[in-house]
Amino acid sequence: MKNIVLFGPPGAGKGTQAEVLKEKYNLIHLSTGDMFRYHMKNGTDLGKLAKNYTEKGHLVPDSVTNDMLKAEVSRRMEENPKGFIFDGYPRTKAQAQVLREFLKEKNTQVDAMVALEVEDEVLVERLLERGKSSGRADDANEEVIRERIAEYYRKTDILKEYYQTDEKYYGVDGVGSVEEITERLSDVIDEL
């Protein structure tokens, strides 16, 4: 199995690249954002809780996210996948440790964290543009966007060090055409 943590701040292009890479490498794409949006749209208890946090630009607590992700990975393992692309998870060192232990129980591991690196102002522009068509309230307000980016750096940048310690961190330029960025990501994945 190849298990990739696709990383980067909001608006870096993780979702777009995950869709391309899942097809290219026959991986299962697990997006915590998609999972939360599903629950929010359907008004589940988890969705209501998640919405309360995301509308303020904050991250959903680890305990909720961990349980949701474990259930989804366990369910999808039955499909005998070639691996997973984790998009939006882990976001904290504690989540990374939970993921490590959980995957170890499943006789697999994270093979690489591949981070899309994009300047903040480009991220703000991308998200505001996406907000015009996405219908996502958190993409339409520049103040909330900047808080999401700041929250990313405060809570998740430490993961770079975590995966560097295991020699599993790879930074990739996230600016350019979708194809150019995919090629850069593929160069890393092909070497794993």
Confidence of residue 59 (pLDDT cuts 50, 70, 90): confident
Tell whether 39 is in a known binding site.
Answer: no
Mean pLDDT over each residue of the chain, to the nearest integer:
90
At residue 11, what are phi and psi to the nearest 5 degrees? 90, 5
Tell whether 100 is in a known binding site.
Answer: no
pLDDT 10s digits, 117-128: 999 999 999 999
Tell whether 32 is in a known binding site.
Answer: yes
Q: Give the domain ranges of the chain.
A: 2-118+156-190
Tell whether 160 is in a known binding site.
Answer: no
Tell whether 14 is in a known binding site.
Answer: yes
Tell whether 60 is in a known binding site.
Answer: yes
Tell whether 126 is in a known binding site.
Answer: no
> What is 2-118+156-190's CATH number?
3.40.50.300
pLDDT 10s digits, 61-71: 888 889 889 98
Tell whether 29 is in a known binding site.
Answer: no
Tell whether 13 is in a known binding site.
Answer: yes
Tell whether 43 is in a known binding site.
Answer: no
Tell whether 150 is in a known binding site.
Answer: no
Over range 11-21, report the average pLDDT: 93
Count, residues in the chain: 192
Cβ-based neighbours of 132, under 8 Å, separated by 6 or more = 140
Q: What is the pLDDT of residue 61?
A: 84
Tell whether 11 is in a known binding site.
Answer: yes
Cα dihedral value 8, 18, 98, 96, nearest 10: -30
- Give the span between the Cα atoms of 130 and 185, in whole angstroms: 23
Q: Name which residue leads in pLDDT, 140 or 5.
A: 5
Tell whether 9 is in a known binding site.
Answer: no
